[in-house]
Structures are given as structure tokens and as C-alpha cells.
Amino acid sequence: MARPIGIYEKATPKHFTWLERLNFAKELGFDFVELSIDESDERLARLDWSKEERLELVKAIFETGVRIPTITFSGHRRYPLGSNDPKKEARALEMMEKCIEFAQDIGIRNIQLAGYDVYYEEKSPKTRARFLKNLRQACTWAEEAQVILSIEIMDDPFINSIEKYLAVEKEIDSPYLFVYPDTGNVSAWGNDLWSEFYIGHKSIAALHLKDTYAVTESSKGQFRDVPFGQGCVDWEAMFDVLKKTNYNGPFLIEMWSENCETVEETRAAIKEAQEFLYPLIEKAGLR
């Protein structure tokens, strides 16, 4: 069995139905699509889909043979688990419970969580403590549903390295909590790749492939919409360490081409990414 390679939902045309999206991914040779539940009202509404709407998605999966094993759940940017506002905190927990139930219904195995205590609010020891308390509750629900939670290495200092994630993992102590690194985010903060992936390789559930511009004394960096090969990721070193740490999980190409003017333009952008990444993956012996 070849390593599965998937594409992010936000790389595909936004107006597509799920059947069209999965067929589009299939035509491009992908094994799976990662579904997005972000902070927009439109995508948060998926948490309240009816059983009939959920069944339509399952039917599309079976009809195309293209899986949806993961969710990028970034809705906690708007309603963070560590929020200073009790109403937002309650909403964050409600969303988390609904997302786990949604994953269970669809057959999704892995929910990627944004590694923020808060995003639009001021951080403090209290927001960190609140985040950890509520993450522990989320893990309890995940354990009951047999759906794993994976924290992304972020564009934010709160959890911007695998090392920082491992401190959280130790405190939460749940067999259903993992880390979901992003090649671009790990690289942008100047983390040592060897240290990061050697100490964390047993906790990695999946991996985003993305390029970024680095955070420096004079720049906040850029964490999305950076063309592959033009950012700070040392791709040969990245794939080399993944090979040597025996990473056998999936690769997810993370792009934001959903609002291209035409489907052909979207397809061309994705193919350009594939043409850059696939030879490097093959060269490293990872495909």
C-alpha cells in the first residue's frame, strides 16, 4: 500500500458539491480530502448538519472511493477553549462535542485542533490553564467516541514547536491526543528539524505539507499562500528526517486555491504543487 496523499478542502473550488470535490480530488490522483470546519458561519453550520446531510457525504465517499479521514477544525480561533469570555468558552466546548459527534457519524478518524489558548484575546496563565482544562474534557469525549484529536503546530507562539506540544501531551495524559505538525509552521519559527521530529515522532498522527516565510526580528513571517519552494522550508532536509524517523503516516498538501476564478486555474495550481513535491518525496523514498 502506497503512502496516502491528500488535498485540503480549501484547495478545491469552493462552489463544488462534496461529490464534485471528491471526484476532482480523484482525477488529480489524491487518496483523500481533509474537510474544513473553520470560524466562518458557513462551515461552522456543518456541526449541525442533519443525518440526511451527513449521509449524503458518506454516500459521496463510497461512490468515489476518496476518503475523508481528517478534519481541520479551526473554529476555535473564533471561540477558543481558553477564552476569557465564559460564553465563548461554553460555545467552544459545545462545538468540540459536536465536532466529535460529526466525525463519528462520517467515519472521520482524526480531528486537527488549532494550538491556540486564545487567538483574538490577550493571553495569560489563566487562558493557558483554561485551555488545558477544556482540552482534557475534549479528550474524554474523544476517548469515548474513539476519535483522535491532534494539535497543529501553529503560527502562534503558544504551541509553535513539537517540543511545546509534548509538554501539553504530558499534562493532558490522554491516549487519544496527538500532534499534527505543519512543515511550514515548524520551519518558520527556526525549530531544529532533527530535534523536533526525533523527540516527537511517536506522537505524530499526520503531516501538512506547506511552505512559509520565516519569522525574524523584522518580520512576523507568512504562514499561508507561499508558493512551494519559495519559502523557508528545507524540503530535502525535511523529507530526510521524516524518512529516518520512520514516519509512515499520510501527507496532506495544504493550499488555499478555493477562490480561483476558474476550475482550470485551481487544477493548475494544485498540479504545480504536485510537480514540486512528488519528486522530492520519491527521492527521499517516502512514496
Percentage, residues of the chain above pLDDT 70: 100
Q: What is residue 46's DSSP assignment? A: G
Whether 1 has a pLDDT exceeding 80, the answer reads no
Q: What is the CATH number of domain 5-284?
A: 3.20.20.150
**pLDDT score, position 287:** 84
- Residues 205-231 have pLDDT tens digits of 999 999 999 999 999 999 999 999 999
pLDDT at residue number 224: 94
Q: pLDDT at position 259, please?
A: 86
**Diameter of the chain measured on Cα atoms:** 51
Interval 46-61: pLDDT, tens = 999 999 999 999 999 9
Q: What angle do CA 106, 247, 282 make, to 5 degrees?
A: 100
Average pLDDT, the chain: 97
Give percent above pLDDT 90 in the chain: 97
Q: What predicted TM-score, i.e. pTM, was given to this entire model?
A: 0.96
SS (H, E, C) 164-223: HHHHHHHHHCCCCEEEECEHHHHHHCCCCHHHHHHHHHHHECCEEECCCECCECCECCEC
Asked whether 177 and 148 are in contact (CB, 8 A), the reply is yes
- Say if residue 249's pLDDT is above 70: yes
Q: Taking residues 134-146, report their average pLDDT.
A: 98
C-alpha cell at 230: 519559495
> Could you read off the pLDDT of 251-283 as tens digits, one per residue?
999 999 998 989 999 999 999 999 999 999 999
Residues 6+ apart with CB under 8 A from 16: 24
